[in-house]
């Protein structure tokens, strides 16, 4: 079947595929009676943080008394019912998505939170969906081979905001710390609100020194983005005083146009600075839906972590084991940086890369990042599809090879330090193990008291995709727990 699809793509012009996807999108909406028209639909797009932002937002809305539906890479939700996404798709196909939206309407949902991917937008899966709110989390190079260039990748994401801009009461929420925010802000969404961290960064939208307040007056008068002359900017929120720990994260969130007397200080049982940004986006949307700051503060104290996102596996072992979905350079580095709060003795990193011709250029970059942060790196299988797993592993390991030299001539299984890193730690030892379960077993066997084993790439996914379109059942957390529970 996959071979037939590949052959058709080569033989049929792209515009025929585009027309097909467009028609199918509207056919799905017609078949299920345009269910999104009876919902307030919130679309979340970006490179990183989409799934967690959706989960946080759904919990805020549900906690505030609004029955909410949700569709993400990892999970689905209707009210208090939650189940795993087994489709191996960030954004469901037209008919499945419209069917789910219809189910949300039938069960009395008021809101639908949808993780909206660039791939889904390219295939017009967002068409026939009545989006009211668009959220931009961040942007970094990913799926470039699919889109042709970073600019086209960005343009695909921007189409969500173009859809919301067609509504008189449309709302846009933006991460102003991302230098690409300016492009999204140029789309004339009726109401716009942004958030940023109180640190220097390259975004020309926030031309300020360290510790300075955001330039709201010049913004409104037409600073970098002329749209603000029309008064669309509802406010700029500032993140500050971030406190990270292994069990929770605290931060302040302020904005002068709103009364912040009821609790500008937040805490949540999620770890990592990037989760502050995810929470900030969710808070902004919640406020714009009329939920009080104090109520959001209380809900965030008790939110559930997203499966497979910095998920700690605890089987009583004397070291830390974490499972995470990170599979592209920016998110992988963010995860490794987040591990500092555990003050680990050593970091043992397990990773791979997707096959099927997906983003081949990023494979050595992933390996290089792992080599820079970890003391031991285990490169293994992920989702090879029809590619040779060993070739994918070699591609990833190539990024580490510049940091190391082989332990034995002609032995590709391991590497040893060549010279010290900038932080004076040794170069990582590297192992290449095709069988992912065996790789996890190896990583856990190497760990000692105070170490961290970080397993990335699969997160909460329930399948591993291999040759000939086959899918193998997979549960990363469960496998780690099983291996931890085995006697030595």
For 230-283, write each residue's pLDDT tens digit.
345 568 999 999 999 999 999 999 875 554 445 589 999 999 999 999 999 999
pLDDT at 4: 56
- Phi, psi of 310, rounded to the nearest 5 degrees: 45, 50
CB distance 160 to 134 below 8 Å? yes
pTM for the full model? 0.85
Same domain for 260 and 140? yes
28 pairs with which residues across the strands? Answer: none
Q: Where are the beta strands (DSSP E) in 142-225?
A: 171-175, 191-197
If one counts the domains in the chain, the total is 2
Extract the tokens encoding 278: 């995810």
Same domain for 84 and 20? yes
- Show the domain range for 318: 311-485
Asked whether residue 5 is domain-assigned, the answer is: no
Same domain for 345 and 196? no
pLDDT at 270: 96
Same domain for 195 and 336? no
Examine the fold and report which residue of 265, 300, 335 is the final residue of a domain before the chain moves on.
Answer: 300
Asked whether residue 331 is domain-assigned, the answer is: yes
Residues 6+ apart with CB under 8 A from 365: 329, 399
Asked whether residue 415 is domain-assigned, the answer is: yes
Helix (H) or strand (E) holding 122: helix 118-122
The end-to-end CA distance of the chain, in Å, is: 44
pLDDT at 356: 85
Same domain for 196 and 260? yes
Asked whether residue 454 is domain-assigned, the answer is: yes
The enclosing domain of 226 has a CATH number of 3.40.1190.10
pLDDT < 70: residue spans in the chain: 1-22, 143, 145, 198-234, 256-263, 404-426, 486-488
Same domain for 146 and 235? yes
Asked whether residue 408 is domain-assigned, the answer is: yes
Examine the fold and report which residue of 243, 277, 300 is the final residue of a domain before the chain moves on.
Answer: 300
Same domain for 221 and 345? no
CB distance 382 to 393 below 8 Å? no
User: Tokens 């208090």 belong to which residue?
Assistant: 80
Residue among 443, 440, 430 at smallest CA distance from 474: 440
Cα Rg, the chain, nearest whole Å: 23
Examine the fold and report which residue of 240, 275, 300 is the final residue of a domain before the chain moves on.
Answer: 300
Asked whether residue 360 is domain-assigned, the answer is: yes
Same domain for 255 and 317? no
Sheet with 40-45: list strands edge to edge: 81-84, 75-78, 68-71, 111-115, 40-45, 131-136, 171-175, 191-197, 233-244, 249-254, 265-268
Same domain for 235 and 139? yes
Residues 6+ apart with CB under 8 A from 62: 68, 79, 80
> How many Å apart are CA 281 and CA 297, to the nearest integer?
14
Alpha helices in 204-304 (DSSP H): 216-220, 274-288, 293-300
Same domain for 217 and 79? yes
Which pairing describes strands 68-71 and 320-324: parallel, antiparallel, or unpaired? unpaired
Extract the tokens encoding 354: 């997707």
The enclosing domain of 407 has a CATH number of 3.90.190.20
Asked whether residue 3 is domain-assigned, the answer is: no
pLDDT tens per residue across span 61-72: 999 999 999 999
pLDDT at 409: 31
Residue among 101, 123, 169, 126 at smallest CA distance from 14: 123
> How many Å apart are CA 396 and CA 401, to the nearest integer?
9
Residue among 30, 283, 285 at smallest CA distance from 132: 285
> How many Å apart are CA 195 and CA 26, to the nearest integer?
34
Same domain for 287 and 365? no
Same domain for 258 and 322? no
pLDDT tens per residue across span 256-265: 555 444 558 9
pLDDT at 36: 96
SS3 content of the chain, % helix, strand, coil (to 5): 40, 20, 40
Neighbour tally for 296: CB within 10 Å: 25
């Amino acid at each position: 079947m996959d071979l037939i699809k590949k052959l058709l793509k080569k033989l049929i012009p792209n515009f025929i595929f585009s027309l097909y996807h467009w028609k199918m999108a509207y056919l799905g909406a017609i078949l299920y009676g345009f269910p999104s028209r009876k919902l307030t639909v919130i679309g979340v797009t970006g490179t990183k943080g989409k799934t967690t932002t959706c989960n946080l937002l759904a919990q805020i809305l549900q906690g505030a008394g609004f029955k909410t539906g949700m569709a993400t890479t990892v999970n689905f939700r209707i009210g208090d019912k939650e189940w795993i996404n087994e489709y191996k798709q960030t954004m469901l196909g037209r008919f499945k998505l419209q069917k789910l939206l219809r189910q949300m309407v039938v069960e009395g949902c008021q809101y639908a939170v949808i993780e909206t991917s660039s791939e889904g937008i390219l295939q017009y899966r967002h068409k026939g969906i009545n989006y009211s709110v668009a959220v931009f989390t961040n942007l970094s190079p990913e799926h470039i081979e699919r889109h042709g260039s970073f600019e086209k990748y960005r343009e695909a994401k921007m189409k969500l905001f173009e859809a919301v801009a067609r509504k008189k009461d449309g709302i846009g929420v933006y991460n102003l710390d991302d230098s690409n925010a300016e492009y999204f802000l140029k789309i004339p969404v009726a109401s716009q609100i942004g958030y940023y961290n109180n640190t220097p960064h390259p975004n020309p939208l926030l031309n300020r020194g360290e510790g300075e307040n955001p330039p709201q007056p010049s913004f409104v008068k037409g600073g970098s983005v002329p749209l603000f002359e029309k008064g669309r900017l509802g406010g700029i929120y500032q993140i500050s005083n971030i406190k990270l720990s292994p069990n929770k994260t605290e931060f302040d969130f302020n904005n002068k146009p709103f009364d912040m007397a009821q609790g500008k200080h937040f805490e949540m049982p999620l770890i990592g600075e990037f989760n502050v940004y995810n929470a900030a986006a969710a808070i902004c949307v919640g406020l714009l839906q009329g939920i009080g700051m104090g109520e959001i503060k209380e809900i965030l104290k008790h939110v559930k972590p997203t499966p497979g996102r910095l998920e700690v596996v605890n089987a009583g072992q004397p070291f830390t084991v974490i499972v995470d979905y990170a599979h592209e350079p920016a998110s992988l580095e963010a995860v490794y940086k987040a591990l500092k709060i555990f003050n680990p003795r050593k970091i043992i990193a397990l990773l791979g890369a997707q096959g099927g011709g997906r983003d081949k250029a990023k494979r050595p970059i992933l390996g290089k990042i792992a080599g820079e942060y970890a003391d031991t790196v285990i490169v293994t299988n992920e989702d090879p599809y029809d590619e040779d797993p060993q070739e994918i592993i070699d591609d990833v390991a190539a990024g580490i090879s510049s940091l190391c030299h082989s332990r034995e001539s002609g032995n590709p299984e391991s590497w040893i330090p060549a010279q010290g890193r900038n932080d004076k730690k040794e170069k990582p030892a590297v192992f290449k193990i095709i069988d992912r379960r065996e790789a996890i077993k190896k990583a856990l066997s190497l760990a000692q008291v105070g170490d961290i084993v970080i397993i990335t790439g699969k997160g909460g996914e329930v399948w591993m995709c291999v040759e000939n379109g086959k899918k193998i059942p997979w549960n990363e957390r469960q496998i780690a727990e099983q291996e931890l529970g085995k006697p030595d």
